[in-house]
Structure 1
């Protein structure tokens, strides 16, 4: 988590704490018993919802939950609330956090790469008519086109259906019922390479290694280091 993320999380906490029911009750001059009951109930909601904010921030960064301890996260938050943390202490905490996360992510990427190599080898072995390019991209021709091939400077119109290896659909112009038009040079590397090999009118099923997709980034519902599978129909060059 970078300094901006920590700062945002702490700012949210301080803002929420500044709006606790005690202040509201004092302004409205409610009875003491009613005020105490409100504080007790709303404080539970405050803690839970702040936890949701922290958890959402962690999830968006692709940090695996099994590498974290909820108890230690809570202890760290309480330590920050109870102590006066100077910039040096915050910098040290951030450096330790980043070093740990880099180690975790490196180990995950290495394991994922080994799985990916096995997956592509099995895919080539178990499916007929699979063509493997030097880059590692694999494809099979579903419909052979005979038209012109795009260049890196072309704009193309395509229909596509994007999936993960588990069958999860993450994007589909087919499902939307609307073809997509875009510059060849404006898409992921795997698409850039494969589009320039496709004659217009072709429909191919393409298997893209993670390094030529989104790499270690989590994008939407695509996890980091994901193999991407597309059925691509090249409709026209514009």
Structure 2
């Protein structure tokens, strides 16, 4: 679910204990660069344990831990949204490196290839952000015309399905909710219902749109909320499920405030 702030340097998956609740982490620029450099080193040196399309025997301990390492590197690549890799070239690079053979590309050629790779990826993401922004604006424009939909000045839209009753929560309060988050095409990216229990979190730890919606709700209330990207995850998106500049829809049931333990 929506995490905090617009000035995120990096999104880190956004997982709370049981859901997409917290939003993005906010590491400082130096830490981000260090992590990126470490990844580039790994990517350059370990272009290797790739799936090459054939079955292998996994009987010995060495075979098993080698396979496990390969899976970990594959997971790392997917986490960085690196999905299109030539498996043969990938495996050859690792094999050459482990055998201490002379690399088939010079250092300059490798650096140039990686620079182009990241430049192309950045351009593709920028184009996706542009497309998402336009699609989201059109979706919100049409949604705002529906009977019963309220549109706030900041662009947040909501429809009250069930009003609830009682006090509104404060912006820093801990609350309990059931929710389902969707992209505008209907894809569910997170849901407390799928986990079979409501979720608890502090309102000061979620994205602005989610916080504002819940502070306007009353216990027992059920709303459908549509958030523009600037009130959700913005240009950064959130992990692999929420792209840049995505407009999000949430079905929210505000169960009520969570009582804080009193000091003895």
TM-score normalised to the size of structure 1?
0.68
Q: Is the 8 A contact 1:131 1:138 kept in 2?
A: yes
Q: Per the alignment, in what secondary structure is the counterpart of residue 182 of structure 1?
A: strand
Is 1:12 the counterpart of 2:31 in the alignment? no
* Pairing of 1:1-238 with structure 2 (within 5 A): 2-13=36-47, 59-62=78-81, 82-83=103-104, 85-86=106-107, 90-125=110-145, 127-215=146-234, 216-238=236-258
* Distance in structure 2 (CA, Å) of the matches to 1:74 and 1:50: 18
User: Judging changes above 3 Å, is the alpha-carbon distance between structure 1 residues 224 and 54 closer, same or farther for their aligned structure 2 residues?
Assistant: farther
Higher helix share: 1
TM superposition score normalised by structure 2 = 0.62
Taking the aligned partners of 1:92 and 1:220, their CA distance within structure 2 comes to 27
**Contiguous gaps of at least 5 residues in structure 2:** 1-34, 57-67, 97-102, 259-264
Output the aligned Cα RMSD.
3.8
Unaligned runs of 5+ in 1: 18-39, 43-48
Larger RCO of the pair (alpha carbons < 8 Å, separation 6+):
2
The aligned length equals 205
Structure 1 residues 6 and 211: CA distance shift in structure 2, 3 A: same
Residue 35 of structure 1: aligned partner: none
Sort the Cα spacing of 1:206 and 1:92 in 2 relative to 1 into closer, same or farther, 3 A. Answer: same
Q: 2:261 — aligned with what? A: none
